[in-house]
Structures are given as C-alpha cells and as structure tokens.
Amino acid sequence: MKRKRRVKIIATLGPSTSTPEQLERLVVAGADVFRINMSHSSHDDMRTYIAALRDLESKYGPIAILADLQGPKLRISSIAEGSIQLERGQTIIFDANHTPGTIDRVGLLHPEIYAAAEPGHTLLIDDGKLHMRVLDARPGRIVAEAITGGVLSSRKGVNLPDAILPLASMTPKDRLDCEAALEAGVDWIAISFVQRVHDVRDVRAIVGDRAAIMAKIERRSAIAEIDEILRESDGVMVARGDLGVEMPLEQVPGLQKQLLRAGRDLGKPVVVATQMLESMTSSPVPTRAEVSDVATAVFEGADAVMLSAESATGAYPVEAVATMDRVAREVEKDVNYESILHFRGTPSDKTAADAISAAAASIAETLKLKAIFCYTATGKTGLRVARQRPAQPIVVLTPVIETARRLNLVWGLHCVQTSDPANTGEMVRGAEEVARASGYADDGDRVLVCAGVPFKRPGSTNMLRIFTIGEDSGKPH
C-alpha cells in the first residue's frame, strides 16, 4: 500500500480493535505497525492478532508487529477501606506486611525498593499524583512524608526516580511473553522500564536475531546511559507517560527532542508515544493541543507516532488513526517541513556503506529524481538512507520478509519483498516492476538504485545506479 506520508503510525490493539474487519479498517486508515500490549493481552489474544494481520499482508504488503513487554510493575498493596486521604506533611509507614493498609501504614511488597531507598529520596505514587519524601529507610520499612496531599488508593503504582532499583530486566512473566511472541513471529520486542544498558543486553541474549529490540525510555536512570542504550538497541520509544512521572514534566519535551536527534544520528528509529490523541478515547475529534503535539513529533523527524488507549479501548479507533494520518500528511506538505527536518544535518559514519547512502540522498535531491530504491537483505541500507531523510520516497526491496516487516516501522521506507537480483539487469528490471506496481515512479521518471556487488552478499552496499523507467531495462548491463 502506497502511503502519502513518511512518518509511520503505530496502533495499539485491544477490545476496540480485536476482529479481522477492525484490523483491516485500521490498515486502510493508515496504521503501519501494530502494538500488542502484553500487560493486557493473553498469549491466545496475541496469536489471534498476529494470524489476522499476516492474512492482511497478502493484500496490503508487509506489516510490522510489536510486542510490548510489561516489565516490573511496582505497586502498593490493598488498603482496607479501598483508599485513604493523606494530608500534606503527614507521615506514613510502608512495610512488607501483607495485611490491608490503614491511615498509618500501607503494604509495599517489593524488597528492591527497600534496598535502593535512602533518606531524602522521592517516592512517587499513582503516576506522581502523590509526592512523598523518604525520611527513613531500612529493610522492610520506609517512613515517608507527604509533600503533596491526596487520595491513596489500593494497588497504585510506585516510582523511585532517584535510585537505580536492583530489578532484573525481565520478570518471569516477561520471559514467558517474550518467548511466546517470538514463536508467534513478532517483528519487534519492546522492553519496559529500561534502567541500564545491561537491561538491553540481557534481552538481546534471549531474543538474538529473531526480532528487533526497542528500548522504552521511561526511567530517569536510563537517561544517564542513553548513548549506550541507543547503540545496543535497534530502536527506542519515548514513553512520555512514566518519563513524565520520573522527570519534571517541563523537561520531557527537551528530552524528546534530544532522543529524536540521537536516534537519527545513529540510524536507530525513534517512536514518540503516550497521550498523543488521548481525548479521542471518548471524542471523535482531538484537542488542538493534541494535534500540535503530533505535528511537533512529525516536524522533528520522528520515525513513528503511537496510539495507545485511543485504538485499544477507545470509542473511535479508526478515526484516531485517520486523524493522525491527516495531521502527518499536512505537516509533511508544510513549506517549513524540509528546513526544520534538515536544520542540523545528519553525520555519517566513515564507512563505504554510509558514504554510499549519504550520496544516494544527495544525488536524488540534486537531480530531482523520482524515488530511491534500496536492495537489502539485513535492512541496514534502508536504515542508512532513511537517516538522511531524503525528499524522495525510499523503496526497500528485500528477499527477506522479516526484514521488510521490521523496516516498516522506519521513517520513509516502503518495503517490498522481492527476489535477490543475479546481475544489474535484473536489479533494474526488478526496481522498474516495483516502481510501476507501487505507483512511486512510472515510464520516463528517473530513479536511483543502491545495492551491493557482488549480489546476494549482505552488508556490501557499494553501488549506485541512476536510470530512467521504461528506457534502460532492455539494455545490457
């Protein structure tokens, strides 16, 4: 399916989008990637989603599927009356007692928190609605003072932003979910609550090359190792919900911009997520602020923007995807889009493949070519060209369906599964066939192809060829 935009749209699946008919409507409306939230999806649900999406590929082309692991969820225990009212300045004890909480004490059954907490640390509860300061911390017991008052309800989430918690990168549930997702054939595995680069390495040891790995940046501690995390992962997600709890809210927009730039410099896709069109869970139209939020991410060159509850449980999932599609297309037509996108420029690594990819974008712009075609097995050529953010469409031709699916999350890439060419003649003819079928170029249009010679040897991108559709395919090569 030919898209009229370059940023990709991720739709989260759930009760509102659980049937094959609903999934197809999302694809038609503009969804390129489908996220399965393992916090709320059973393995049977996941397999049903994947089977339906793979059926749609015969009609619409490669579709990327992302399994989002739940990660370690830290919560207080139950409260006897369901909730209590904390006043500002009030002290309360958190302990390892399993009995229901009272106005004086509440259960917190996570030894990792007691091991990491120190006096003066901040304790945030219920997405930061309750702000507590640790006065005393010892094994199995924390005394904290309420900096802000409010209602404390059963099972609310807990954040300790000032410390690195001694938590494993994957819980037992995550390991089971990850293996099930890999066996079912997902394309991306998202790791929640990444704290250190070792978290990514631990997951890599399990996943191997069976899927790409996306690190979700939602912990303050991850920012300190962000360069290493970016290098070890295949992509990152700016998960602004928890990040906005861990960090002061006013710092999140700047961090979003930094992560987008750092990811692009390294050729790693960056997803912007959380509350992008939140009001559309119950309204057929978004707020003006939400539209501006989506537009900002597109202007900044995000690879993908994501819908969560809007498409999973909302009343208007298809409308939410269609709205995001319209906003993205309008931004990409804006007279300021290209200048903002290329304000910094993109550094290139000093390798032949990177030089070729940078040259492809430069030549296509100088000669006003119609499209760029990339032959690739591993996907690295497509990633390198996309990093340059050329004005021309980038069509990825690959014999590996897994590569086509994974790259469908990346900015500007239109992915097609095709056979590997045996020579330059087949290379040109294959690009021509896809150009006509996809509608990205037609007879008389000049296009550029980048590939590796000798063919069928991954990682050897070293050739550019410019040719005219309909004129060069019959010539000897």
- Cite the active site residues: 35, 75, 216, 274
Other C-beta atoms lying within 10 Å of the C-beta of residue 87: 9
Q: What angle do CA 401, 364, 453 make, to 5 degrees?
A: 50
**Residue 370 backbone phi and psi in degrees, to 5:** -80, -35
DSSP, collapsed to helix, strand or coil, labels residue 61 as: coil
Amino acid at 298: V
Instruction: Give the span between the Cα atoms of 133 and 147, in whole angstroms.
Output: 7
Is the bond into 454 cis (omega within 30 degrees of 0)? Answer: yes
- C-beta of residue 395 within 8 angstroms of C-beta of residue 371: yes
**Residue 10 backbone phi and psi in degrees, to 5:** -105, 130
Provide the token pair at 35. 């996220």
Q: Look up residue 247 and give its DSSP letter.
A: S
List of E strands, 6-90:
8-12, 33-37, 64-68, 83-86
> First and final CA of the chain: distance in angstroms?
31
Which residues is 415 bridged to in the sheet?
396
DSSP, collapsed to helix, strand or coil, labels residue 213 as: strand
- C-beta of residue 310 within 8 angstroms of C-beta of residue 15: no
Q: Where are the alpha helices (DSSP H) in 234-287?
A: 240-246, 252-266
Write the CA distances from 312 to 18, 124, 293, 306, integer angstroms.
9, 27, 20, 11
- C-beta of residue 436 within 8 angstroms of C-beta of residue 428: no
